[in-house]
Amino acid sequence: MLDLNLLQKYDSNGMYKVYDIWPQIARQQYETNVDFIDFGGISHIVFAGMGGSGAIGDIFSAILSKTDIHVDIVKGYLLPKTVNSKSLVIVTSISGNTEESLTVLREAIKIKAKVIAFSDDGKMQKICEENRLEYKRIPMIHSPRASFPTFLFSMLRVLESFLPIDKKEIIDSLDELEKQKERISSINLSKGNPAINLATSISGIPLIYYPWGLQSAAIRFKNSLQENSKMHVITEDIIEACHNGIVSWDKPSIVKPILIQGTDDYIKTKERWKILKEFFNEKNIEFDEVVSVNGNILSKLINLIYLFDYSSIYRAVLSEINPTPVSPIDYVKRKLH
């Protein structure tokens, strides 16, 4: 069983200590006295960012999915051809030096799109200052992926003028985050900790099934298991998988399913979950289930991400791995010109 000595031994960079205070960080950043920005009449928004920064864009895309605003997510070098002077390009690079995000930022400037950027210093801040662009500096804590709530809740405050989510819903999500901490953080290293239970159950190659509305949580889970636990991971949309991916289960595999379900999934999605679980039981295929909290989309996503991130840290420690180093990423960055 995982205990504090084991956690401190393998998570020697103290990533878990940052996760223990995620709710506190999130609330502090949301309550920071910053001016929100009203760009007015926005009908097209692009969120650009990689890794942890890209996951933030995924969250905003989910929040904005119930509006008439067209949203694009860019995780790469190029903006969509539909971007013009009336588009808002939101670029996030927690380090401020992400090559892809800086390329997108420069392209947005050439197009004369409306731009706002978020980072902790770096080249991004310099470019924004030179071009007199809207820019917000947000502190990085420990690492880009651990800084997720710092950036997310700061950006929620700054961008609130066009978000279809009110202050009460954001406060509710923070309250749920506090409750989640009591269940999953290092203050509860017991058999009742759902993040430890999930981490203990993860084996082979995890295949994460998700409904469309929870895609951002599934992608973040994949990324966290890859970076923290150093594992290969697959994600599939539950509806699409029923038209192709499910056939792979006709033969034995080291892949293990994890089913991410929303408390209020669409009725036909719930039907698919029921059928898929029956299919796995008939095939004697072990699977894990995770169900979101009740509440608004932000509450669902941020609490799932908190659970999944923490389980990836626990999985690393149980595998006697330090979750912090990402040597292959550093290798690629060194080779880039």
Interval 199-241: pLDDT, tens: 999 999 999 999 999 999 999 999 999 999 999 999 999 999 9
User: What's the chain's average pLDDT?
Assistant: 93
Tell me the Cα Rg of the chain.
20
What is the structure's pLDDT at 222?
Answer: 97
Choice among 79-83, 201-205, 330-334 with the minimum mean pLDDT? 330-334
Overall fold of domain 4-8+182-318: Rossmann fold (3.40.50)
Segment 31-34 long-range contacts (CB within 8 Å, at least 24 positions apart): 32/154, 32/157, 34/136, 34/154, 34/157, 34/158
Which residue has 């000595």 as its token pair? 5
Residue 35 or 84, more confident: 84
Element (H, E) at 136: strand 134-137
Per residue in 268-297, pLDDT tens?
Answer: 999 999 999 999 999 999 999 999 999 899
pLDDT tens digits for range 99-110 = 999 999 999 999
Answer whether residue 37 shows pLDDT above 90: no
Tokens 């009591």 found at? 182
Which is the CATH superfamily of the domain at 37-158?
Glucose-6-phosphate isomerase like protein; domain 1 (3.40.50.10490)
The lowest-confidence range among 1-5, 29-33, 182-186, 191-195 is 29-33
Distance, CA of 172 to chain centre: 19
Greatest pairwise CA separation for the chain in angstroms: 62
pLDDT of residue 161: 83
| pLDDT for the residue numbered 253 | 93
Task: Return the pLDDT at 337.
Answer: 65
CA distance 335 to 105: 22
193: amino acid identity, one letter: N
pLDDT at 334: 86
d(CA 214, CA 274): 18
Tokens of 197: 């239970």
Residue type, 86: K
How many whole angstroms separate alpha carbon 301 and alpha carbon 172?
A: 13
239-261 tens-digit pLDDT: 999 999 999 999 999 999 999 99
Q: Where in the chain is the domain with CATH 3.40.50.10490?
A: 4-8+182-318, 37-158
Task: Write out pLDDT tens, residues 130-176.
Answer: 999 999 999 989 988 999 999 999 999 998 888 888 899 999 999 99
User: Exposed, middle or buried, 304 (CB in 10 Å: 0-12/13-18/19+)?
Assistant: buried
Model confidence at 39: pLDDT above 80: no
Helices and strands per DSSP (H, E), number in the chain: 14, 9
**C-alpha to C-alpha distance for 99 and 68, rounded to whole angstroms:** 31
Percent of the chain at pLDDT exceeding 90 = 82
